[in-house]
Amino acid sequence: MFDGRYLVDHASDAAFAIDCNSKVVAWNYAARRLLGHKRREVLGQHCSEVLQAVCHKGEPLCSPDCEGASCFRNLKAFNSPPCRARRRDGGWVSVKLSTMVMPRATRDEQSCQAMAVIMLKPEEETKHVAPAARTLRIFTLGRFCLTAGGSGLELEKWERKQALTLLKYLVANLGHPVHRETLIDFFWPEIDEDRGWKRLKVTVHYLRCQLRAAGITENIVETAGQTYVLRPEGVWLDVHAFECCAAEGAQFQQEERWDKALGCYEEAQNLYRGDYMEEDLYDDWCTAKREHLFEVYLEMLAKMAECHAEVGHYDAAVQVCRTALIRDPGRESFHRSLMEYLVQLGRDDWAIEQYHRCRRLLIQELDVEPMLDTQRLYRLIIESSGRLPVEKQSKPAGE
């Protein structure tokens, strides 16, 4: 029986194989010609990082816990509609993905041999295939979007925009029934309940029709008495996947399984494409959830940097801290961590400059000095490096 690597090496089409962790274990020359990546550049990389595939409307197709990975774990093939994959040079190529799942007998879970083979054809060469099973996947981190069976829903074409807002509101209350009076007051606070009830019924009906048109046969928006609820078992939600990855990473970190923890944190970082419901930035109903998830994200980045430091990857730890400071420049704990990791890299001068950058920012934005812990760390670096503080350095003679 041939294994996945053999099939990839002998395929005429662009093809690669992934293991049980969705890491690339085989990559053929046709794939290199199509996407530009050399074999050594992609082996060991998560397939979502290599393909970065999106539907033609821009909705993510590849993610750490994508529909394809779920199919592979259940020994099912995954055939997506035409999509776009990112080339090494930053361009895009329209492709059709088809897959072959390796029989369980050929897999070695310990060595993580090939679990599935993914083949890519330029779109003009593709032929019609049966549509994939439809599961509603909801992306709320960054731009809100939906996919079903790997195909993005064209939300901009929905005529009743309130149906989209209703879905977002139900997503924010996933699994919790929302009373119709709450929804009526949310959408139409100026009209009486009877008129509001009629409008709400029309809006719910339109939402369900749009989901059915996308191939979602299961009734995921349920009516329970005078309430509506979005059934959590009927959808995949990026927020849930993100929080699970962050929590699993923290557990591995507690057990000092650094590589496993980093794998989980990297998946969580990939899932956090932007702030929660970022298009509804000024709406109170999602503000608390957005702030909570942002804190989870920053905490996850801090732990991710710690894991990199534990295995001696101080350059990676530095990059994680810089990523966090782009999102929240005033987060002083990341300034301190960045200073410590720069010292470990032998760049005391950069660490000292980082302190002054932190100090300037805090004074300009908040009119406060750095915390005592930050000042103490700065003085320790100054003393160990033999440098004088900038504000106390002697002027050259003659000035």
CB-based contacts of 38: which residues, under 8 Å, 6+ apart?
Answer: 32
pLDDT recorded at residue 256: 95
Segment 369-395 shows an average pLDDT of 78
- What pLDDT does residue 215 have? 87
Least confident of 43-52, 188-197, 259-268, 312-321: 43-52
Instruction: Name the segment(s) of the chain with CATH classification 1.25.40.10.
Output: 253-391
Measured CA to CA, the distance from residue 69 to residue 76 in angstroms comes to: 9
What is the mean pLDDT of the segment spanning 190-199? 93
125 CB-contact burial (10 Å; exposed 0-12 / middle 13-18 / buried 19+) = exposed
What is the distance between the alpha carbons of residues 395 and 399, in angstroms, rounded to a whole number?
Answer: 7
Residue 393 pLDDT exceeds 60: no
Over residues 301-322, the mean pLDDT reads: 97
Residues of each domain in the chain carrying CATH 3.30.450.20: 4-125
pLDDT of residue 160: 93
Lowest mean pLDDT among 21-30, 123-132, 258-267: 123-132
**CB pairs under 8 A, 24+ apart, for 198-206?**
202/160, 203/160, 203/162, 203/163, 203/166, 204/163, 204/166, 204/228, 206/158, 206/159, 206/160, 206/163
**What confidence score (pLDDT) does residue 104 get?**
62
**Residue 233: what pLDDT?**
86
For range 173-191, the mean pLDDT: 94
Whether residue 398 has pLDDT greater than 70:
no
Pick the CATH number of 4-125 from 3.30.450.20, 3.20.20.70, 3.40.190.10, 1.20.120.1760: 3.30.450.20
Query: Exposed e or buried b for every residue in 249-264, given b needs 16+ CB within 10 A?
Result: bbebbeeeebebbbbb
Q: Tokens at residue 32, please?
A: 């290199």
- What stretch(es) of the chain map to CATH 1.10.10.10? 136-236
Helix (H, G, I), strand (E, B), or coil: what is residue 177?
coil
Q: How confident is the model at residue 180 (pLDDT cuts 50, 70, 90)?
A: very high
> Of the ranges 44-58, 61-75, 113-127, 249-263, which is most confident?
249-263
Summarize the confidence of residues 363-387 as an average pLDDT.
92
pLDDT in tens, 283-300: 899 999 999 999 999 999
CATH topology of domain 253-391: 1.25.40
Q: Identify which of 210, 207, 212, 276 has the alpha carbon closest to the alpha carbon of residue 240.
A: 276
Q: Could you read off the pLDDT of 203-246 as tens digits, one per residue?
A: 999 999 999 998 888 889 999 889 999 999 889 999 999 999 99
Q: How far is CA 100 from CA 44, 84, 111, in A?
A: 20, 20, 20
Both structure tokens of 136:
């509603």
pLDDT, averaged across the chain: 86
pLDDT at position 357 is 96
Side by side, the strands of the sheet bearing 235-237 are: 151-152, 145-148, 136-139, 235-237
The predicted pLDDT at position 387 comes to 66
What is the share, in percent, of the chain residues with pLDDT greater than 70? 89
Q: How far apart are CA 353 and CA 351, in angstroms?
A: 5
Q: What is the CATH number of domain 136-236?
A: 1.10.10.10
Within 8 A by CB and 6+ apart from 263, the residues are 21, 249
- Please, are residues 26 and 45 in contact by the beta-carbon 8 Å criterion? no
For 77-125, the pLDDT digits (tens) are: 777 777 888 888 877 888 888 888 877 655 544 445 778 889 888 875 4
Q: Identify the pLDDT of residue 384.
A: 87
